[in-house]
Structure formats: C-alpha cells, structure tokens
Amino acid sequence: MSARLRVLLVGAGAVGQVFGKFLKAAGCELSFLVKEPHVASTRAGFTLQELSRFSHALPVSLSGFGVLVSPQEVANQAWDQVWLCVSSAALHEGTWVSELARVTGEATWVMLQPGLKDRDWLSQWVPASRLVCGMIPFVSFQTPLKPGDPSGQGMAFWFPPMARGLFSGPPERLQKVIRTLRQGGYPAHEDPDVVRATAVPTALLNVFVSGLETAGWSFARFQEGPSAKAVREAAREAVQIVEGKPGKGTPGLLRPLPLKLLLLGTRLAPFDVETYVQFHFTKVSTQTRQMMGEYIALGKSMGLPVQHLEALQAAVKEAVKEAVNAPGGPATPR
C-alpha cells in the first residue's frame, strides 16, 4: 500500500474546508496552517454540508487533522503537497509565502488564486516544475447565510450543474493532484492552462461584482439603474486587457437579455445567491479591488482604453463611502 499523502492546507476558511473534506475522503494526512485567532475553531473541527437543488446531503464532520500556526511548526514535518486556500490579496501580505517555501522541501504547491500575476509572483519561490494551478468551481459559505435560515452552524458548499474543477501544471504532479481529488469524489479535470482559461471569466466576474456593489448589492437595482451599462462598458475594456488585444463588442453574458436570464436563473440555486454574493464579495473585497487595479495598470501599460474601468473603480469608492456614512453603517448580510 502506498504511503498517505501529507497535505498542508493554508487557510481553513470556506475553500480550505471544502478541499479538506475531499482530500480527507481520498485518504490524505491533512493539516491546516491557520492564523492564531482561528486555532481554537479549527481544532474543534468543522461541519460541512453539500447543497443540491433537490435534496441536501446530511452534514458531515471534518476532523482528525493537524493544526499549525507558523512556518517553524511546518518545518518539523515533511510535506507532499501545499494548498493555498487564501485570497489573492492574502497571498501578497507579508513574507509568509517565502518562509513557507523555505520549509516545505520539494512539495507540490497548488495555487487557486485568480490574480493575473499570482503565478509569476509565486514562481519567485516555487518553480513551475512544482506548481499546479487550479480554479474553484464551487461556492461555499458559512451558514446560516442570513437570519432565519434553518441551517445550523457550518460550511455549506454547492457545485453548479456540470461544474469541473480544472487544474494545470507539470504532468506527474498534476496527475497526482487530479487522481487524489477524484479518489475523494471531487470533479477534477486537466486543462492545458487554467490561468489563461479563467482570465476572461474572472475579469467579467470582478467587473460585475464591482458594478453590483455600486447598486448596493441588489440584482434588481443593478439591472434597472446605471450600473449595468457601466459594467458592460468596463467589461469590454477588461476583456481586451486580459486578452492583450483590442476586442469586439460587449461580452455576450453581460448583454441585457442574457444577464437578465442569468440573474433569474440564480433563483434555481439551492440558496439565496444574492445574499451569498454580497457576503462573499464583501469578505474578499480587497482581492476584487486589487484585481480591478491590476486590469487598469495593465491596460495603461498596453495603451488600451481604461476609462470605463476607472469610472467603475471611482463609483465603487463612492458607494463604499456612502455605505459607511449611512445610518447604522454598511449593511451586512449576516
């Protein structure tokens, strides 16, 4: 029998817990590297529940893993894989990535961050020969999502129909990641270049989320007000920038009718998507702002138009200021 894979997951939040569940089911020996304030809750273990439109699975517990807080503790063990389950913004905070790289030997690193420059940035410490890139095809969130929800405390996760978790990287290490996840029941698939494959959808998402924030996170207000038009114009610029060339018209998905259908379609999800979007993207707002800044900087450096992206960025700043100054402060979904 082959030895169990020793996997270190950095971050035990919404994404880390879900990957932890599947890697544990695949028989991996799991540890989480967490910040000090999360040690007690992580040691207590997690409860996860997979949502589906027709029948929710029973909640499952995730326990029996190590909890570490510093690179020094990480250095005391040997690792086969290191998974980065933090936001793109958190990746760039401080010097922890370089410290972790120093103490994890020849481990395969799996990065899931959407930032345009994240792979290149990480390659300062983790060579391409050890780096597997992935995208996240599920949504996950702390429950209850809003007051009155019947669900108990835990992490809910949902794979949209036909969701595929794409990964790319050096063949042998890539296959090991995919094989392991599949053993645990996760829909992992190979892609020639995940970073490239996800660049446009990620850009559209960031622009859409920024526009939604200017509409107070309301789908209805977004569609009725000026936000949808601003988003269409900014999205056109963002797509040109990530594709590196002047492009065509408005991305299809953001045209009025497809967008209307898409937002209507979210009602079929087994949770309130509008509330999830507000909750999640408020949580990772630094990452969204960082990526909008990256599109603008890159566009300028390539001589491509960015005025609509800049206008949207300014509108978000204004919306945040207004929300902070509103009676009772910014609305929180939970």
Ligand X SMILES: NC(=O)c1ccc[n+]([C@@H]2O[C@H](COP(=O)([O-])OP(=O)(O)OC[C@H]3O[C@@H](n4cnc5c(N)ncnc54)[C@H](OP(=O)(O)O)[C@@H]3O)[C@@H](O)[C@H]2O)c1
Positions in the binding site for ligand X (CB under 6 A): 10-11, 13-16, 33-35, 38, 85-88, 90, 96, 112-114, 136, 139-140, 280, 283-284, 287
The amino acid that residue 132 corresponds to is: V
Structure-token pair, residue 292: 């909008």
Decide whether 81 or 87 has the Cβ nearer to ligand X. Answer: 87
Decide whether 136 or 304 has the Cβ nearer to ligand X. Answer: 136
Q: How far is the CB of 130 from ligand X (least distance, A)?
A: 19
Inter-residue contact 199 to 119 (CB < 8 Å): no
Inter-residue contact 88 to 290 (CB < 8 Å): yes
Q: How far is the CB of 141 from ligand X (least distance, A)?
A: 6
Decide whether 240 or 282 has the Cβ nearer to ligand X. Answer: 282
| Nearest residue (beta carbon) to ligand X | 13
HSE of 171 in the Cβ direction (CA atoms, 13 Å)?
0
The SS3 call for residue 142 is: strand
Decide whether 15 or 188 has the Cβ nearer to ligand X. Answer: 15
Decide whether 123 or 142 has the Cβ nearer to ligand X. Answer: 142
CA 237 centroid distance within chain: 22
Structure-token pair, residue 101: 């790289």
Write out the DSSP string of 42-106: HHT-EEEEE--SS-PPPPEEE-S-EEE-SHHHHHTS--SEEEE-S-HHHHTSTTHHHHHHHTSTT
Q: How far is the CB of 305 from ligand X (least distance, A)?
A: 27
Residue 185 falls in which region: left (phi positive, over 0), alpha (psi -120 to 50) or beta:
left
Decide whether 34 or 215 has the Cβ nearer to ligand X. Answer: 34
Q: How far is the CB of 128 from ligand X (least distance, A)?
A: 21
What does residue 19 show for φ and ψ, rounded to 5 degrees?
A: -65, -35
Decide whether 156 or 215 has the Cβ nearer to ligand X. Answer: 156
What does the alpha-carbon distance between residue 307 and residue 300 come to, in Å, rounded to a whole number? 10
Q: How far is the CB of 44 from ligand X (least distance, A)?
A: 14
Q: How far is the CB of 55 from ligand X (least distance, A)?
A: 21
Q: How far is the CB of 137 from ligand X (least distance, A)?
A: 8
Structure-token pair, residue 11: 């971050």
